[in-house]
């Protein structure tokens, strides 16, 4: 089978690339190793309720904001988006003290200034920098994709910026408090911190009915444009000749897909495994990718609740029993932080399901790697019960009656993500970004193979907005940047 472009992996990055390239008139094929498409966009149904896996909310979806133009292009604005409360889209709770993040930068400043009146001007400077970086996001599309990596904000750390801008220790903690959606540490580049937080301050949104609708909409449109999407097609080898990829071998020789161009939506280490026999990949490159650290994983406690017991809250809650937020994912802070996400009710004003998310290190589940789901033994099940009970106990301090309202509990670990989505080490945010090691952690879309490109959250930015930007850069390698700019309207 011969295509113009073969895309490996049907996560958001892979599907966005397929959409762009199919729209450009190219014959596109997407290969997915699992029986379901979507990667971390996947949802699952239990007892007529929809639970999300990796998708929970997005930012910047109003007209004129960062994500709106992209989602209009990708035909995703028609989905049942629900805007979170303007006065409080995120509630930050640190040792029982509650703070509110409001939508709109001026409203954001005014709301936090009520708690920190002496920091109002500093908050204004903080907000100004976030907007400056967020507004310049599309300015990086100049001529060549490499321009994207030239921003000086990649080499400045988010922590240094906050320490320099804010001189109140409590406010520093609060501003870091919504960062469970990224690998927050002292080496995180300011660029990543700023563009993510800016988009959510612009506006914050959930989707009624599950994030899988994003993947399903993209798949339907890709197929309408003549693209093919095949599941249960696990790539086991990429064959290259004279420095160019020629074909993708699936299921150890069951079939082969030829193409002029290839895009991998998988972790770069996984891509290198497919090229094990290639002489075009130097050993130093292989070692650099192999030794690149990954971000932490996520343990999720999915709660099915009794009817009419827990009122729906149109905002998220970040709960911490530590002020060491720049190291909250480390073992010393285990069990001290959760993100509470309420699913939009399918009917009525009471939620039937809530997700509790907390960091979890790969090392905690690594010894079960290679075992089958449902067959990992009592020790693994006991670990999950202990984690779930810890998350529920923390949530119960701020959600009245939740323990008695629980009907069923479902859980997922980094191993679950690893098995269902092929995520390396179950990493929630791909490769751990480090402003001191940009060449190792902020990877270009181009690989050492001339016609093989990379996309997805492992490459530079994560989150819906970050992956969307990376997809444009990946496709620009094939279509040219001028075509991308004209097509998207940049």
Average pLDDT (259-274) is 95
Q: Which residues of 199-233 are buried (b: 16+ CB within 10 A; e: fewer)?
A: bbbbbbbbbeebbbbbbbbbbebbeebebbbeeeb
Q: Are 269 and 276 spatial neighbours (Cβ–Cβ below 8 Å)?
A: no
Cα 54 to its chain centre, rounded Å, is: 7
Cα Rg of the chain (Å, integer) = 22
How does DSSP assign 8-48, residue by residue? E--SHHHHHHHHHHHHTT--EEEE-SSSS--GGG-EEEETT
Closest CA to 91 of 190, 206, 183, 178: 178
Average pLDDT (13-23) is 98
Q: Which residues of 321-340 are buried (b: 16+ CB within 10 A; e: fewer)?
A: bebebbebbeeebbbbbbbb
Tell me the pLDDT tens digit for each residue of 61-87: 999 998 999 999 999 999 999 999 999
Give the per-residue pLDDT at 165: 97
Compute the distance between CA of residue 473 and CA of residue 310 in angstroms, rounded to an integer.
43
Provide the 3-class DSSP secondary structure of residue 7.
Answer: strand
Tell me the pLDDT tens digit for each residue of 396-427: 999 999 999 999 999 999 999 888 877 888 89
Domains, the chain, ordered by start: 2-45+211-292+435-488 (3.50.50.60)
Specify the residue for token string 């939740």. 402
Compute the distance between CA of residue 35 and CA of residue 18 in angstroms, rounded to an integer.
18
Listed range (45-49, 198-202, 318-322) with the worst mean pLDDT? 45-49
Per-residue pLDDT band for 243 (boundaries 50, 70, 90) equals very high
Give the per-residue pLDDT at 452: 98
Q: Are strands 2-8 and 255-264 parallel, antiparallel or unpaired?
A: parallel
Average pLDDT (196-222) is 96
Specify the residue for token string 């030794």. 291
Average pLDDT (113-130) is 98
Compute the distance between CA of residue 21 and CA of residue 246 in angstroms, rounded to an integer.
19
Per-residue pLDDT band for 145 (boundaries 50, 70, 90) equals very low
List residues bridging with 337 in a β-sheet: 320
Q: Are strands 406-412 and 297-305 parallel, antiparallel or unpaired?
A: antiparallel
Closest CA to 413 of 300, 490, 310: 300
Q: Are 203 and 61 spatial neighbours (Cβ–Cβ below 8 Å)?
A: yes
Give the per-residue pLDDT at 182: 83
Give the per-residue pLDDT at 148: 54
Per-residue pLDDT band for 142 (boundaries 50, 70, 90) equals low
The yes-or-no verdict on residue 291 having pLDDT over 90 is no
List residues bridging with 44 in a β-sheet: 51
Structure tokens at 298: 């996520």
**Strand segments (E) across 392-460:** 406-412, 452-454
Give the per-residue pLDDT at 246: 96
Compute the distance between CA of residue 280 and CA of residue 269 in angstroms, rounded to an integer.
15
Specify the residue for token string 């952690």. 441
Compute the distance between CA of residue 354 and CA of residue 279 in angstroms, rounded to an integer.
49
Overall pTM surpassing 0.75 (yes/no): yes
Per-residue pLDDT band for 146 (boundaries 50, 70, 90) equals very low
Q: Where are the alpha helices (DSSP H) in 294-431?
A: 378-396, 402-405, 414-421
145/463: higher pLDDT: 463
Give the per-residue pLDDT at 3: 98
Residue by residue, what is the 3-state secondary structure of 85-138? Answer: CCCCCEEEEECCEEEEECCCHHHHHHHHHCCCHHHHHHHHHHHHHHHHHHHCHH
Q: Are 34 and 232 spatial neighbours (Cβ–Cβ below 8 Å)?
A: yes
Give the per-residue pLDDT at 124: 98
- Please give the span between the terminal C-alpha atoms of the chain, in angstroms, as a whole number: 35
Q: Which of 93-102, 135-144, 316-325, 435-444 has the highest mean pLDDT?
A: 93-102
Cα 350 to its chain centre, rounded Å, is: 28
């Amino acid at each position: 089978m011969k295509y113009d472009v073969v895309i490996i992996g049907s996560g958001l990055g892979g599907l966005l690339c397929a959409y762009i390239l199919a729209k450009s008139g190219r014959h596109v094929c997407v290969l997915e190793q699992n029986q379901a498409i979507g990667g971390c966009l996947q949802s699952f149904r239990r007892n007529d309720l929809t639970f999300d896996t990796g998708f929970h909310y997005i930012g910047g979806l109003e007209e004129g904001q960062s994500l709106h133009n992209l989602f209009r292009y990708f035909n995703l604005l028609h989905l049942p988006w629900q805007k979170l409360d303007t006065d409080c889209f995120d509630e930050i709770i640190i040792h029982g003290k509650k703070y509110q993040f409001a939508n709109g930068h001026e409203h954001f400043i005014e709301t936090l200034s009520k708690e920190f009146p002496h920091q109002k001007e500093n908050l204004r400077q903080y907000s100004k920098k976030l907007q400056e970086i967020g507004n310049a996001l599309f300015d990086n599309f100049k001529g060549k994709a490499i321009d994207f990596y030239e921003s000086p904000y990649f080499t400045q750390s988010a922590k240094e910026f906050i320490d320099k801008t804010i001189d109140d220790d409590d406010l520093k903690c609060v501003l870091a408090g919504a960062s469970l959606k990224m690998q927050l540490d002292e080496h995180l580049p300011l660029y990543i911190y700023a563009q993510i937080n800016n988009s959510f301050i612009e506006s914050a949104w959930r989707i009624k009915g599950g994030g899988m609708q994003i993947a399903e909409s993209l798949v339907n449109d890709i197929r309408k444009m003549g693209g093919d999407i095949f599941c249960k097609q696990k790539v086991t080898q990429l064959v290259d000749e004279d420095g160019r990829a020629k074909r993708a071998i699936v299921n150890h020789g069951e079939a082969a897909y030829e193409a002029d161009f290839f895009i991998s939506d998988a972790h770069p280490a996984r891509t290198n495994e497919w090229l094990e026999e290639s002489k075009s990949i130097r050993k130093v490159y292989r070692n650099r990718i192999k030794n690149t650290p990954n971000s932490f994983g996520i343990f999720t406690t999915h709660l099915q609740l009794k009817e009419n017991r827990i009122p729906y809250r149109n905002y998220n809650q970040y709960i911490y029993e530590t002020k060491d937020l720049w190291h909250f994912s480390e073992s010393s802070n285990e069990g001290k932080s959760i993100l509470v996400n309420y699913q939009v009710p399918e009917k009525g004003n009471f939620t039937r399901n809530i997700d509790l998310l907390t960091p979890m290190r790969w090392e905690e589940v690594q010894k079960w790697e290679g075992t089958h789901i449902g067959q990992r033994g009592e020790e693994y099940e006991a670990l999950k019960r202990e984690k779930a009970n810890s998350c529920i106990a923390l949530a119960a301090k701020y959600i009245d009656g939740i323990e008695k309202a629980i009907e069923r509990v479902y859980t997922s670990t980094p191993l679950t993500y690893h098995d269902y989505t092929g995520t390396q080490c179950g990493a929630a945010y791909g490769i751990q970004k480090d402003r001191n090691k940009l060449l190792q952690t902020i990877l270009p879309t181009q690989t050492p193979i001339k016609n093989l490109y990379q996309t997805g959250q492992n490459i530079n930015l994560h989150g819906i907005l970050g992956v969307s930007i990376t997809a444009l850069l990946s496709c620009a390698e094939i279509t040219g940047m001028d075509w991308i700019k004209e097509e998207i309207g940049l």
